[in-house]
Amino acid sequence: MTIREVATTPFPDQKPGTSGLRKKVPVFQQTGYAENFIQSIFDSLEGFAGRTLVIGGDGRFHNRAVIQTAIRMAAANGFGTILVGRGGILSTPAASHVIRLHGAFGGIILSASHNPGGPTEDFGIKYNIANGGPAPERITDAIFARSRTIDRYRILDAADVDLDCDGETRVGDAIVWVIDPVADYTALMEELFDFAAIRALIGSGFRIAFDAMSAVTGPYATEILEQRLGAPKGTVRNGLPLPDFGGHHPDPNLVHARALYDEMMGPEAPDFGAASDGDGDRNLIIGKGIFVTPSDSLAMLAANAHLAPGYARGLAGIARSMPTSGAADRVAEALGIPLFETPTGWKFFGNLLDAGQATICGEESAGTGSNHVRETDGLWAVLLWLNILAARRQSVQTIATEHWARFGRNYYARHDYEGVDTIAADAVIASVRGRLADLPGATIDALRIEAADDFAYHDPVDGSQSHGQGIRILFEGGSRIVFRLSGTGTSGATIRVYIERFEPAGGDLGRATGDAIADLVAAAEAIADIAGHTGRTVPDVVT
């Protein structure tokens, strides 16, 4: 086997976002494109000679091809051991756990998360560090800088590894281990949750509907829910990971998981419905007759986490992203623990988790997790909900109603304007930023603005600063509107508007969300003039 130094030239568009580098598949299929980025990762790291690298992905189109390339490049660059999920499969939370469990130097995760898959759809490459979490900005900045000057990559001439057979293969001087992608993760879940109690709940006739969306969580959910916990066969729907996710968009929200939502709102609904996304880090929670927003789910999980064995000693703190509703804030206050408000992006939680300052973290974009790994974890959230339901023996509806009666309710929705012309999207944000000084004290209809700012974050662990993380419009009484641009897509820009009305305990807690926030929706348009800048009069997705 020969190590080759292949001459190359830079691509100008390899700047990683909050979740790595994401582009359309044909972009990654360009000669040298994936190789340049992978070599830029290795060139930005030190001290990995002879160490272990984890490689896996969500099974989307082009996953296997890039895994073979990454194996040959990792061997050529000096890694000693390479752990790969069988079939090229590792959910993002499972990859985080494998990195931590096996003391790996880091990992390459091939995914575009909740984005569509297929020959003309999305692909992504992300590097995770030794703690199992996404690379911090100092590393992603170094990767991008190297990608701008790269002139060669190193790759081994070697045959493809059989990804479908567990065991050891030697590639050059490196050992490649193809591992069961589910086993280590399942063992961790058994440590955290009371499987016996959940099994008893299911045995009592409690019905579950889990939609894996033809994505990576299917094998994990099938093993845990059906094999370990005794749920009937068929509880996991769309459980086989497919390269194009069956032609569906694997984002567990009320648009793309509409069939599950409609079923859960029907007269013959199961007791509990859930879904996860392309790479397994997001979750959707629906009870019989009730959708639980991700923000509320975070708060309710935190308030009840002590019912699960892994969290029986209590929580050190709760962290939420800035656009996530303030529902968790009042739980933290009641528990007497700190609440951290961070920028969007799970990597901002990593320092808090590593320092032991937070135990449970969550984002409004349906990502919830804890200190068990350093990524969001969709199936973990589902299992914690099931543990709580098994302990309390109440419905999701009752748990939510009792929670709001104690803490108040944050009526909440996110409006996404997708694929917006980048110049027009930037103009929306610039226009609102230009008005920040004049907004406090202004009144829109009966809504009085108390404060307005461009959110900045000071990391309490390492002292780093992050600015320009989203515009907050704060109203008297605890309601607010947030404007920000998303970095998770691969074309155009997505304007996200987060709308939140706080109703204190004792108030009107049973309204339809759309009715409760209608005046705030109108206020958001009056402030940002999205229609005037973009021509869009309604959002593409409301969650």
Cα–Cα dist 214/175, whole Å: 31
SS3 63: helix
pLDDT at 543 over 60: yes
Q: Identify whether residues 335 and 381 lie together within a single domain.
A: yes
Q: Identify whether residues 58 and 131 lie together within a single domain.
A: yes
Write down the residue that tokens 């706080």 correspond to: 502
Instruction: Kindly give, in sequence order, each residue whose CB lies less than 8 Å from that of residue 212, ignoring residues fewer than 6 positions away.
Output: 218, 221, 222, 236, 237, 238, 239, 241, 275, 276
Cα–Cα dist 46/129, whole Å: 12
- What's the pTM? 0.95
How confident is the model at residue 344, as a pLDDT? 87
Average pLDDT over residues 79-85: 98
Q: Identify whether residues 331 and 459 lie together within a single domain.
A: no
362-400: per-residue pLDDT in tens?
A: 999 899 999 999 999 999 999 999 999 999 999 999 999
pLDDT category at 490 given cuts 50, 70, 90 is low
> Is 113 tagged catalytic?
yes
pLDDT category at 11 given cuts 50, 70, 90 is very high
What residue spans of 133-257 are helical by DSSP H?
A: 137-147, 183-192, 195-203, 217-221
Q: Identify whether residues 203 and 222 lie together within a single domain.
A: yes
Cα–Cα dist 94/379, whole Å: 10
Q: Identify whether residues 435 and 490 lie together within a single domain.
A: yes
Average pLDDT over residues 268-296: 97
Q: Identify whether residues 36 and 148 lie together within a single domain.
A: yes
* End position of a domain, from candidates 153, 181, 209: 181
Which residue range forms the structural domain that includes residue 310?
185-407
Q: Identify whether residues 372 and 434 lie together within a single domain.
A: no
Nearest alpha carbon to residue 277 among 365, 396, 385, 399: 365
| CATH number, position 395 | 3.40.120.10
Q: Identify whether residues 114 and 19 lie together within a single domain.
A: yes
Instruction: Kindly give, in sequence order, each residue whose CB lies less than 8 Å from that of residue 204, ignoring residues fewer than 6 positions away.
Output: none
105-151: per-residue pLDDT in tens?
A: 999 999 999 999 999 999 999 999 999 999 988 899 999 999 999 99
Q: Identify whether residues 446 and 400 lie together within a single domain.
A: no
Please tell me which residue in 19, 111, 113, 325 is annotated as part of the active site: 113
How confident is the model at residue 488, as a pLDDT? 53
Q: Identify whether residues 368 and 504 lie together within a single domain.
A: no
Write down the residue that tokens 């990792």 correspond to: 74
Report the share of the chain in percent with pLDDT over 70. Answer: 99
* End position of a domain, from candidates 381, 407, 433: 407
313-330: per-residue pLDDT in tens?
A: 999 999 999 999 999 999
Q: Give the helix/strand (H/E) hosting 498.
A: strand 493-503
The per-residue DSSP string of 14-55 comes to ---BTTBEEEEHHHHTSTTHHHHHHHHHHHT--S-TT-EEEE
Q: Identify whether residues 415 and 402 lie together within a single domain.
A: no
pLDDT category at 464 given cuts 50, 70, 90 is confident
Nearest alpha carbon to residue 324 among 280, 369, 288, 279: 369
Cα–Cα dist 372/321, whole Å: 19
Nearest alpha carbon to residue 476 among 505, 436, 504, 497: 504
| CATH number, position 523 | 3.30.310.50
Q: Identify whether residues 388 and 283 lie together within a single domain.
A: yes
Parallel/antiparallel/unpaired status of strands 174-179 and 167-171: antiparallel
Number of structural domains the chain divides into: 3
* End position of a domain, from candidates 353, 380, 407: 407
